[in-house]
Amino acid sequence: MTEDLDKSLWYHSCAESVTAPSLMGEVVADLAIIGGGFTGLSAALHAAEAGASVCLIEAHTFGAGGSGRNVGLANAGLWLPPEDINSHLGARVGSRLSGLLANGPNMVFDLINKHQIACEPVRNGTLHCAHAPSGMKDLKRRHAQMTAIGAPVTLLDRDAAVARVGSDQVHGALFDPRAGTIQPLAYAKGLARTALAQGANLFENTPATSLAREGDRWIIETPQGRISAPAMIVATGGYTRKMAGLDTPKVVPVHYFQSATAPLSEEQRSKILPGLEGCWDTALVMSSWRLDQAGRLIIGAMGELGHIGSFVHQGWLQRKLVRMFPELADVSLEHTWHGRIAMTVEHLPKILQPDPSAMVCFGYSGRGIAPGTLFGKHMAEALLTGGTDGLPVPPVTSHSLPFAGLRGGYYETGATLMHLVKDQL
């Protein structure tokens, strides 16, 4: 799937440019990182800033996996509201995680500002929109839980939400001013550029073929080289390749597809998302929409484009676009792409620690930007200092997810059936 990244709008509008060679020969480092997405690149940057020697390898190009296919919403939390997080993790751990994630957008936008990453940052908040009157029940529950822990969120009625979105297809919204939108591939490449500037060794087109613990060091083999390091992070998420010596973490493979219109006219832009918030809805088969810097509308939903029934998703997308924004009936869709999300049953990220000197992170369940940046930083700090108390979630030594592939098929079948019948004009 990584070969079709050039179908993405983000590939064509990316203002950040960074390249790195393939690994040839042996590199000795304090920290080895596998995976060049938000998590791995954040870990590399923060470790290098702390003075550690770092070696990161990416099987393709930086951001070629889920990071470069993202919707681009930098949110202040996970899919789960705070009390649901606490029910899984306990009040103490859950409250700490929610507190850290509340600061996630600050971390992202501070990095962007500090290192002048050209990724179209707009911090005007996000709107979680009720797709139907029944969706307001969920938003009210989330609003109550989030305000209870001090989140500055506002519940909007239907009229206010319609005015913000520019569509009568929303029935209310939860506004979070802490969040914003970015060009996700450019953010990933900007992190890579900055990590290189801080002295990290980064390599593209370098898959890990095997890894093993030898004495007090990890040995990571690649097609033409090897890395030796006392500590290691595996941050490949939904794009994890098979590596000898690593049991691939089980996740539910869920796909998300998007299309981008041609740039809208000034008149259209004055009516559709005039405040430039990023949006997603409360529907069971979720959809999202936002504008980019050039005024393109990016609209998407759960679903995979790599199978024979993908025409169902694309047909629904055109209907959805016109139903939400009738004035865009004649606007062409110029880019269409999809990506894979690594989801856990609880919709909570995991840090698997098979050895005190190694961490495997996965399961952001579609919320990769701020959590990935945060988890990467904290994992690097934990491995370099030898303490895990600062990690966002307690590490676990094992992880299982029965019938992960079947669960993924269930989600895709449901999304396809829903898109077959929804929004008929």
Q: What is the pLDDT of residues 147-191, one digit of tens each?
A: 999 999 999 999 999 999 999 999 999 999 999 999 999 999 999
Share of the chain above pLDDT 70, in %: 93
- pLDDT score for 347: 86
Stated length of the chain? 425
Q: How many CB atoms lie within 10 A of CB 24?
A: 12
- pLDDT score for 409: 64
Residue 398, helix vs strand vs coil:
coil
Q: Quick check: 414 pLDDT over 90?
A: no
pLDDT in tens, 238-286: 888 889 988 877 777 788 999 999 999 999 999 999 999 999 999 988 8
Q: Using a cut of 0.85, tell me whether the model's pTM lies above it.
A: yes
Q: What are phi and psi of 103, to 5 degrees?
A: -90, 0
pLDDT band at 424 (very low <50, low <70, confident <90, very high): low
- pLDDT score for 412: 60
Task: Report the C-alpha gap between 66 and 340 in whole angstroms.
Answer: 6
Beta bridge partners of 57: 34, 203
- Strand segments, DSSP code E, in 105-234 are 126-129, 154-156, 173-176, 180-181, 201-203, 210-214, 217-222, 225-229, 231-234
Please name the amino acid found at residue 64.
Answer: A
Q: Which region among 110-124, 164-178, 231-245, 306-320 has the lowest average model confidence (pLDDT)?
A: 306-320
- pLDDT score for 312: 85
Instruction: Please give the average per-residue pLDDT across 55-64, as a whole number.
Output: 97
- pLDDT score for 247: 81
CA-based R_g, the chain, Å: 21
Please give the mean pLDDT across all residues of the chain.
92
Q: How many CB atoms lie within 10 A of CB 90?
A: 12
pLDDT band at 93 (very low <50, low <70, confident <90, very high): very high
pLDDT band at 303 (very low <50, low <70, confident <90, very high): confident
Please name which of 369, 366, 371 lies closest in space to residue 338, comparing C-alpha atoms. 366
Which overall architecture, per CATH, does domain 2-421 show? 3-Layer(bba) Sandwich (3.50)
Residue 146, helix vs strand vs coil:
helix
In angstroms, the Cα distances linking 249 to 222, 308, 346, 404, 418 are 20, 28, 15, 10, 29
- pLDDT score for 5: 86
- pLDDT score for 310: 81
Q: Quick check: 208 pLDDT over 70?
A: yes
Q: What are the residues whose beta carbons fall under 8 Å from the beta carbon of 314, sequence distance 6 or more?
A: 259, 305, 336
First to last CA, the chain: 32
Task: Report the C-alpha gap between 362 and 376 in whole angstroms.
Answer: 11
Q: Quick check: 400 pLDDT over 70?
A: no
> Where are the chain's structural domains?
2-421
pLDDT band at 365 (very low <50, low <70, confident <90, very high): confident
- pLDDT score for 350: 92
Q: Quick check: 3 pLDDT over 70?
A: no
Q: Which residue has the higher pLDDT, 222 or 286?
A: 222
**Which secondary-structure segment (H or E) carries 28?**
strand 25-28
pLDDT in tens, 18-31: 999 999 999 999 99
Share of the chain above pLDDT 90, in %: 77
Angle between helices 184-197 and 38-49 (to 10 degrees): 30
